[in-house]
Amino acid sequence: MHVLITGAAGGIGRVARRQLAGRYAVLRVLDRVELGPLGPGEEAVIADLADIAALEQAMAGIDCVVHLAGVAAEPESNAWPQVLAANIAGTHNVFEAARRAGVRRVVFASSHHAVGYHRRSQILTGAAVPRPDSYYGVSKVAGEALGRLYADKFGLSVVSLRIGVFRPRPLDIRHLSVWVSPRDMTELLRCSIEAPQLHYVVAYGMSANTRAIWDNREASVLGYRPVDNAEDYAAELLADGAPELEGAKPFHGGWYCAWDLGDHGLFID
C-alpha cells in the first residue's frame, strides 16, 4: 500500500512513523515543518494545508491518507482564526485533494472534544450527536461532516477517529477513562488504513480502559484489539488525589468544558 500521513512531524505522527516503519511500500510524510530523519520507504513533503495543489500532488498514487495535521488543541486565546484555517479549511482541502487524486480512503483524526459536552454518566457510541466543547471541538465536528459528505457524495472510504488523550501514560482521573497509549494509537491507525471495504465509520481512539465511557464497537469492526489499560496506573494516580476542576467533572470533554466561561456559567441541560 501507498500511504500519506499529514502532520507527520507531530506527536502522533512521529510515533506512528516509527512503529509502522517498513510496513508500507511508500509512506509519504507531509508537514509544514521539517520532518526529521526519514525511515524506510518514507518520502518527505513540506506543504501547508492551505495549498490544495500541493496536497493533490502529494496524494498522487496514494491509497490511503491519514490526516493528522492541524491545530491539535484549543489555543489559549484567539482560537477561531487558527482553527478555522487549519482544521476546517485545511481539512476540506485534504478531502477535496483526495477526491481529485483518486485516493481510496481517508482516516481523519477527529477528537472526543467533538462530543465533549455529553455527560460522563452517558456511555457514548460513534452515533452520539455532536456536542462540541470548544472551537477546536467544532472544527472536529466539521471535519467529520466533511468526511461523511465525501463518503456519501463521492464514494471515498472514510474513518473518523475520535481520539481520546494520547500520552505515554494517563495523567489525571479523566485519563483513566479516555487514555490511548502510543502503541494502541498506532494499531488503531494501522487497522483503519488496512480494514477491508468500508463506507464511513466513527470510532474512538482509546485503550482497553476499565473505566471506559465510550462503547467502541465500531473500532472492533475495524479489527482493533487494544492491549493497554489506563487502570494499570490508577493506584499511583489516585494516591496523588488526581484533582479535577469542579466544572470539568460532569463532562466527557473535561477541562475544555470548564474554562473560558466568562459570565455565562456552564450550559447544563
Ligand X SMILES: NC(=O)c1ccc[n+]([C@@H]2O[C@H](COP(=O)([O-])OP(=O)(O)OC[C@H]3O[C@@H](n4cnc5c(N)ncnc54)[C@H](O)[C@@H]3O)[C@@H](O)[C@H]2O)c1
94 near ligand X (CB under 6 A): no
> Judged by CB under 6 A, does residue 86 bind ligand X?
yes
HEC profile of the chain: CEEEEECCCCHHHHHHHHHCCCCCCEEEEEECCCCCCCCCCEEEEECCCCCHHHHHHHCCCCCEEEECCCCCCCCCCCHHHHHHHHHHHHHHHHHHHHHHHCCCEEEEEEEHHHHCCCECCCCECCCCCCCCCCHHHHHHHHHHHHHHHHHHHHCCEEEEEEECEECCCCCCCCHHHHEECHHHHHHHHHHHHHCCCCCEEEEEECCCCCCCCECCHHHHHCCCCCCCCHHHHHHHHHHCCCCCCHHHCCECCHHHHCCCCCCCCCCCC
Choice between 181 and 229, CB closer to ligand X:
181
Of 24 and 166, which CB lies nearer to ligand X in the complex structure?
A: 166
Contact call for residue 32 and ligand X (CB under 6 A): yes
Specify whether 200 is catalytic. no
32 versus 119: smaller Cβ distance to ligand X? 32
Bridge partners for 66 per DSSP: 5, 107
Stretch that binds ligand X, among 29-37, 119-127, 193-201, 246-254 (CB under 6 A): 29-37
The single residue listed with the C-alpha cell 487514555 is 179
Which residue out of 24, 117, 136, 150 is catalytically annotated? 136
For ligand X, the closer CB: 26 or 46: 46
User: Given candidates 70, 147, 182, 226, which one binds ligand X under the rule CB under 6 A?
Assistant: 70
Residue 53 found at the interface with ligand X (CB under 6 A): no
Residue number closest to ligand X, CB atom: 10
Burial bucket for residue 182 (CB in 10 Å: 0-12, 13-18, 19+): buried
49 is an interface residue for ligand X by CB under 6 A: yes
Single residue of 25, 33, 38, 227 touching ligand X by CB under 6 A: 33
Q: In this structure, which amino acid lies at residue 196? A: P
Q: Considering the rule CB under 6 A, would residue 159 count as an interface residue with ligand X?
A: no
Span interacting with ligand X, options 58-66, 69-77, 211-219, 233-241, rule CB under 6 A? 69-77
Shortest Å distance, C-beta 263 to ligand X: 29
C-beta separation of 179 from 170 below 8 A: yes
State which of positions 105-124 bind ligand X (CB under 6 A). 109, 111
The 192-231 contact track toward ligand X, x by CB under 6 A, reads ----------------------------------------
Q: Where does this chain bind ligand X (CB under 6 A)? A: 7, 9-13, 31-33, 48-49, 68-70, 72, 86, 90, 109, 111, 163, 165-166
Active site residues: 136
